[in-house]
A and B are shown apart, each in its own frame.
Chain A
């Protein structure tokens, strides 16, 4: 069955610290991978996405993620977080093309202390 697992439920960092949020998925075929961010009281917005090609994907606001197929992972990274990065982060996976459903991990709440 298709599933997504995010390892960290709640992360607290100080400004300028580096960030890495873990995401592992389970799916038998070719996948499309996404990271979304949800700021307090808002809807989900796309941070970055992976379809194919270079496994290191760069997104908005200095975020990047690396797809490691052998580990079924798509971890999100940012070298230096800001207070404004405080939000909830969701990893999502969908089977490529017309297969598979778009499902999300449990989410990771990031709190950045000024």
Chain B
């Protein structure tokens, strides 16, 4: 398996534009997480899905942020409209639960978003 795949790797956009980040989890994994990493706030959990269903979106900072998982192999994180303070590295991760046992989360390479 190629691991968790995120696209794009880098995104530079102007303030006010819509940004869509994409993630393909590892095949067979039933959990998908979106994180945001900044110097000031560290690694923040934005939202996570279990079997394509959003379980907890309490980390989503504002209504400008939305995430979807239309099927087991694809998820998007959308910011509309984007603002300079959204500049960060966004990571997607996936994991698997077998019975009561979690695997570790496997991370994608991240998308470095710069909003100017």
Contact = CB atoms under 8 A, between A and B. Distances in A.
Interface of A: 30, 32, 34, 36, 42-46, 49, 51, 90, 92, 94, 96-98, 101-107
Contact of B45 (A46, A98, A103): A103
Contacts of B93: 44, 102
A105 B33 CA distance: 16
Contact of A44 (B91, B95, B99, B102): B91
A98 B53 CA distance: 13
Contact of B33 (A98, A102, A107): A102
Nearest to B31: A102
Contacts of A103: 45
Interface string B85-109: 0000001010101011110111111
Contact of B97 (A43, A92, A98): A98
B91 A43 contact: yes
B116 interface: no
Contact of A43 (B55, B95, B107): B107
Contacts, number: 56
A104 B100 CA distance: 20
State the majority secondary structure of interface residues on B.
strand
A47 to B, nearest CB: 10
Most chain A beta carbons < 10 A, residue from B42, B45, B55, B104: B104
Interface of B: 31, 33, 35, 42-43, 45, 48, 50, 55-56, 91, 93, 95, 97, 99-102, 104-110
Given A44-B107, A45-B107, A101 B97 contact: no
Contacts of A45: 107
B86 to A, nearest CB: 20
Most chain B beta carbons < 10 A, residue from A30, A34, A98: A98
Nearest to A107: B42
Most chain B beta carbons < 10 A, residue from A34, A36, A43, A51: A43
